[in-house]
Amino acid sequence: MNNLTREVVERKKKLEDRENEVATREKNMENKEEELQVKAEELQSHEAKLKEEGRRLQNVAHRLQREREQLDADKKKREKPSREKQQGDRISLRQAKILNEMKRQTRLLEEQFKNNGCPAAFKELEA
């Protein structure tokens, strides 16, 4: 009878061990599912931020284009035909500074967008 009792106890222990192991695995799976859910939410948030920054970049590029067009229009309005032709189509120092700054900002934005992604480009723009 002792042997049978010992065998029953051993089998019960093995069964409990297996049940504990299954419970541990289930808990680990639940934890992993929660981690994946958090990561999915983070990715969605990041994607939304990237879309917003992309829109901002388009707005900045559009604004710079409008400013360039306005400068070109101002330049044509202020042009004095005979004198300007003699001086080689010069623009005012103020216009040149604005144009150079716009070119510099555009170049910086393009480089940062290519090299670092959208967030860095907008940090530089806002600064």
Dist. CA 124–CA 108, nearest whole Å:
8
45-87 pLDDT, tens digit per residue, is 999 999 999 999 999 999 999 999 999 988 888 876 555 455 5
Query: Whole-number mean pLDDT of the chain?
Result: 85
Dist. CA 17–CA 99, nearest whole Å:
76
26-56 pLDDT, tens digit per residue, is 999 999 999 999 999 999 999 999 999 999 9
Whole-number pLDDT of residue 97: 87
pLDDT band at 89 (very low <50, low <70, confident <90, very high): low
Nearest-CA neighbor of 68 among 46, 96, 30, 109? Answer: 96
Dist. CA 127–CA 122, nearest whole Å:
8
Report the length, in residues, of the chain.
Answer: 127
pTM for this model (two decimals):
0.42
How far apart, in Å, are the Cα atoms of 17 and each of 5, 23, 71? 18, 10, 80
Residue 106 reports pLDDT greater than 90: no
